[in-house]
Amino acid sequence: MRIRFGFDIAVACAQPTHFLACMSVRPERHKDLHGEEIVEVSGGIPVTPFLDAFGNRCLRFTAPAGETRIRGEGLMRDHGFADPVHADAGEVPIANIPSGLLQFLLPSRYCESDSLAAFAWENFGHLPPGWSRVQAICDYVHQRVRFDYYSASATRTAQGALHEGQGVCRDFAHSAIALCRALSIPARYVNGYLGDIGVPAGGPMDFSAWFEVWLDGNWYPFDARHNIPRIGRINIAVGRDAADVAMLHSFGPHDLRTFTVICHEEPED
């Protein structure tokens, strides 16, 4: 199957303002692109591409005073299957976890696994280690946190989401990540595109957030918000939490004027 994806964002600045944009598809999905992915900034503004510490493709640029538009689009060829379920996948002993992945066991800005450790072990420590324990965490977060787009908060943490019982997709991901790390299961934050493919339409399209866990030597996607296998995930960026993968970060104030995201199945030629 083919998936058309893209975005169109316009920001307004009162003075020249530097931006970091992390809005390109992850390098490992480039082989699946049908043609070139386009990510461009209006007005001929010079951009500098770079890879961040997590291997995400980023741009930096200085927007002049006034309105600047950032847009992107592409066509992805996808296998069309739902997220894999490997119920027999086991946890990797800490001594055998690659050193580069140890950072995904530690507390981070939005994932206070240290503060949640006692709670995690009390509620999930008795469960069989591996896939079923991660799924139990997803079930708990899915039932505990209510999705509310209008309750979005840039400062809410995993502990805050579990306490308040509400949040958006990033809060579901942060909560599950923190509980997994508290149990010594490497977990990382993912944002990207997730269209309503194979499920009823869920309203206006937006970027989505989920998480991945390291089991049996592989990263597997989990989604505590939807809590069902989904079709057509397109990873944009991975990191310890949302602080590492802000799609658009400005070093100064700006106003958001336009925000449009598309992600849908496109008929074959």
Lowest-pLDDT choice from 12-16, 163-167, 197-201, 256-260: 197-201
Q: What percent of the chain has pLDDT over 70?
A: 100
Domain that holds residue 46: 2-79+247-266
Q: Is the pLDDT of residue 179 over 80?
A: yes
pLDDT of residue 185: 98
Closest CA to 195 of 87, 99, 78, 106: 78
**46 — pLDDT class (breaks 50, 70, 90):** very high
Residue spans of alpha helices (H) in 60-168: 117-124, 131-144, 158-164
Within a domain: residue 86? Answer: no
- Residue 254 scores a pLDDT above 90: yes
Q: Is residue 196 part of a domain?
A: yes
- pLDDT score of 202: 75
Kindly indicate the confidence band of residue 92, based on its pLDDT and cuts at 50, 70 and 90: very high
Per the domain annotation, does 251 fall within a domain? yes
What's the burial of 12, exposed, middle or buried (CB within 10 Å: 0-12/13-18/19+)? middle
- CB atoms inside a 10 Å sphere around CB 187: 28
Is the model's pLDDT at 203 over the cut of 80?
Answer: no
118 and 59 share a domain?
no
Mean pLDDT of 49-70: 97
CATH code at position 22 = 2.60.40.2250
- 46 in any annotated domain: yes
User: Residue 231 has which token pair?
Assistant: 């079709």
Look over the chain and give the mean of its residue pLDDT values, rounded to a whole number: 96
Phi, psi dihedrals of residue 130, rounded to the nearest 5°: 120, -155
pLDDT for residue 72 = 97
Does residue 89 fall inside a structural domain?
A: no
- Give 120-141 pLDDT, tens digit per residue: 999 999 999 999 999 999 999 9
- Is 85 contained in some domain? no
Look at residue 268 in the predicted model and tell me its pLDDT: 81
Give pLDDT, residue 27: 95
> Is there a single domain that holds both residue 255 and residue 235?
no
Let me know whether 140 and 7 are in one domain: no
- Tell me 231's DSSP state: B
Whether the per-residue pLDDT at 201 is higher than 90: the answer is no
9 in a structural domain: yes
The mean per-residue pLDDT over the stretch 23-41 comes to 95
What would the mean pLDDT of 208-213 be, rounded to a whole number? 98
- Looking at the fold, whether 163 and 236 belong to one and the same domain comes out as yes
Q: Which DSSP symbol is given to 81?
A: P
Arithmetic mean of pLDDT, 67-81 = 96
Q: Predicted confidence band at 18 (pLDDT cuts at 50, 70, 90)?
A: very high
> Over pLDDT 90: what percentage of the chain?
95
The reply to whether 13 and 64 lie within a common domain is: yes
Same domain, 228 and 113: yes
- The beta strand positions in the chain, using DSSP E, are 2-13, 17-21, 38-41, 48-51, 57-63, 66-77, 146-147, 166-167, 187-193, 208-215, 218-222, 234-239, 248-250, 255-266
Same domain? For 122 and 219 the reply is yes
